Structure 1
Amino acid sequence: MTPLLLASTSRYRRELLERLGLPLETARPAVDEAPVAGETPRAMAMRLARAKAEAVALIHPGRWVIGSDQVAELNGAPLGKPGTAERAQAQLAAMSGQIVQFHTAVCLMRDGEDLQACDLTRVHFRALGAAEIARYVAAEQPLDCAGSFKCEGLGISLFEAIENRDPTALVGLPLIALSQLLREAGYTLP
């Protein structure tokens, strides 16, 4: 079986995809992730997942490629990856006591044919103090994560509740939806 291509160098996504037991390889997609004016966070996640899959599929004809993207949404506005500790602390302070939506999109593509899905997760943040936010950011360094936390680590302590149908979506790759797309593409799971 030809290995799937994951259009990502994210170790989080690779670790999730490895759960399915399918042979896989990774490739870095060359995609501009800048938001488009007027685009909703869900539409942005879907566009970027497809763009990542397409960028890799174009240079690997005949291969199934998986693209995925996650966009956090607070009060209708997208939140990007913080990049710095100061921005991570500011994001967490803004999310304190709020419900934040995470749109996690996935696209499976081969030779222009694509199958897509998007999962919605609602995270209820508890009220967070500045000192605990600073301690959390220093401890886990979530600078490359949408929303400035790692739910699979210490970040879980920041929440009151998580509402979703797929717990893997919040980590960055909705495996329930992806499994369905892979079955549609002819893969046998499990």
Structure 2
Amino acid sequence: MSSEVNPTIVLASTSIYRQELLKRICPDAQIESPRVDETPLDQESTIACAERLSIAKARFVAEQKTGRHIIIGSDQVAECEGRWLSKPGTPDNAVNQLEHASGKTAFFHTGLCVWDTNTNRYHSEVISTEVRFRVLEISEIERYVAAEDVLGCAGSAKSEGLGITLLDSILGPDPTALVGLPLIALSRMLRSYGVRLP
């Protein structure tokens, strides 16, 4: 049996959803809070924004480290028919987002960056998930927003919770991407940096 030890892995995120997902493949990962302005740039696309922010989060934490660490940054940006679906922040905004998404297709773009502090090199990509909302009655939307805490959730629906009942379909290469951290892509990236998985 090999005695090789994996480098220290750090998640640059305070999201409990990303932390829970990462624990599935890296139970000993450390957690750091990146201080990054998440305001979109002028004329920036949702895909470009998700990738830029995932890199910025990883970079912020990487710059605080000495020795070899593998830093994971991630960010998700959603859109529906040209409208950005940000974190709603208030119940009224959540209801408004879900009214807009009713009967439509939304795209959730999850940026992922893995940064090696030893070489100061990184790899990033964006995993996109297509989500079709069923036609929703306003009473359903209001009951849902009252029942589930979605104020910090882009798009105002948690597919890993009661929000799955609002959907017709989910199409994408990685089911964990929609929750916030694409573990299939992340596993591939970590292996490319010499992290042993499993």
TM-score bucket (shorter structure):
over 0.9
1:98 corresponds in structure 2 to 104
1:41 touches 1:77 (CA, 8 Å); kept in 2?
no
4+ residue segments displaced more than 4 Å? none
1:149 corresponds in structure 2 to 157
1:52 to 48, 57, 77: 57
Alignment partners' CA distance in 2, 1:81 and 1:140? 14
1:135 to 116, 123, 143: 143
1:13 to 18, 38, 41: 18
- Aligned-partner SS, 1:157: helix
Counterpart check, 1:30 vs 2:45: no
Q: Structure 2, unaligned stretches of length 5 or more?
A: 1-5
Alignment partners' CA distance in 2, 1:88 and 1:3? 38
Alignment partners' CA distance in 1, 2:181 and 2:62? 18
- Aligned-partner SS, 1:136: helix
Number of corresponding residues:
190
Counterpart check, 1:81 vs 2:87: yes
1:41 touches 1:76 (CA, 8 Å); kept in 2?
no
Q: TM-score, normalised by structure 1?
A: 0.97
Alignment partners' CA distance in 2, 1:22 and 1:58? 23
Q: How big is the alpha-carbon RMSD for the aligned residues of Structure 1 and Structure 2?
A: 1.0
Counterpart residue identity of residue 36, structure 2: V
Q: Structure 1, unaligned stretches of length 5 or more?
A: none
Displacement of 1:3: 2.8
1:104 touches 1:118 (CA, 8 Å); kept in 2?
yes
Displacement of 1:74: 1.1
Which has more radius of gyration? Answer: 2
Displacement of 1:13: 0.2
Counterpart check, 1:189 vs 2:194: no
2:116 touches 2:193 (CA, 8 Å); kept in 1?
no
Alignment partners' CA distance in 2, 1:145 and 1:134? 16
Counterpart residue identity of residue 167, structure 2: F
- Aligned-partner SS, 2:13: coil
1:2 touches 1:23 (CA, 8 Å); kept in 2?
no
Counterpart residue identity of residue 186, structure 2: L
2:3 corresponds in structure 1 to none
1:65-76 correspondence runs (5 A) = 65-76=71-82
- Aligned-partner SS, 2:159: coil
2:7 touches 2:195 (CA, 8 Å); kept in 1?
no
1:166 to 147, 171, 174: 174
Counterpart residue identity of residue 177, structure 1: A
- Aligned-partner SS, 1:93: helix
Displacement of 1:22: 4.5
Alignment partners' CA distance in 1, 2:136 and 2:87? 19
- Distance change in 2, residues 1:7/1:21 (3 Å): closer
Q: TM-score, normalised by structure 2?
A: 0.93
